[in-house]
């Protein structure tokens, strides 16, 4: 309810850009009645090709840093705003497991980025647990921090 109130107060729309969560963040938003007033769209850019085609993430950026990286998360958040009518976005890219982990990016590593007006904020979190737990924790963290970032932005 707080997320909806903050977006409605600002007359802002939200876009999501999701990789490891496969649309769960947008799904969580649409659980709320009235979400059509503040949710513009969700991009599920699971493959690297989709990140480039849907969100404009440069293929060279993915090649240089890997899909699970700060530069890619930030480019996803920016792309979601650019490719939509939204003024705010949340992007997630991570290793949900059980496979795909590496020593520098173990299973549970998730990069987040939020575009909130003209601010772009990113952070990395390591979540424990199995694939389901990592994905659920990612959704909760993405929305919790989005609310905090929206609260920090002065009203338009």
**How many Å separate Cα 139 from the centre of its chain?**
9
Residues 148 and 119 sit within 8 Å (Cβ to Cβ): no
Confidence of residue 145 (pLDDT cuts 50, 70, 90): very high
What pLDDT score does 37 carry? 98
Residues 149 and 121 sit within 8 Å (Cβ to Cβ): yes
What pLDDT score does 1 carry? 83
pTM of the predicted structure, to 2 decimals: 0.97
């Amino acid at each position: 309810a707080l997320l909806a109130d903050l977006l409605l107060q600002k007359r802002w729309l939200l876009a999501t850009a999701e990789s490891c969560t496969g649309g769960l963040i947008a799904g969580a938003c649409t659980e709320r009645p009235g979400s059509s007033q503040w949710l513009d769209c969700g991009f599920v850019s699971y493959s690297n090709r989709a990140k480039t085609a849907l969100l404009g993430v440069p293929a060279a950026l993915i090649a240089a840093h890997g899909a699970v990286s700060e530069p890619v998360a930030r480019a996803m958040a920016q792309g979601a705003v650019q490719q939509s009518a939204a003024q705010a976005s949340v992007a997630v890219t991570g290793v949900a497991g059980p496979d795909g982990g590496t020593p520098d990016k173990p299973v549970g590593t998730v990069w987040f980025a939020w575009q909130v007006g003209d601010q772009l904020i990113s952070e990395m979190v390591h979540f424990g647990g199995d694939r389901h737990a990592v994905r659920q924790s990612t959704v909760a963290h993405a929305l919790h921090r989005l609310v905090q970032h929206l609260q920090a932005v002065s009203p338009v």
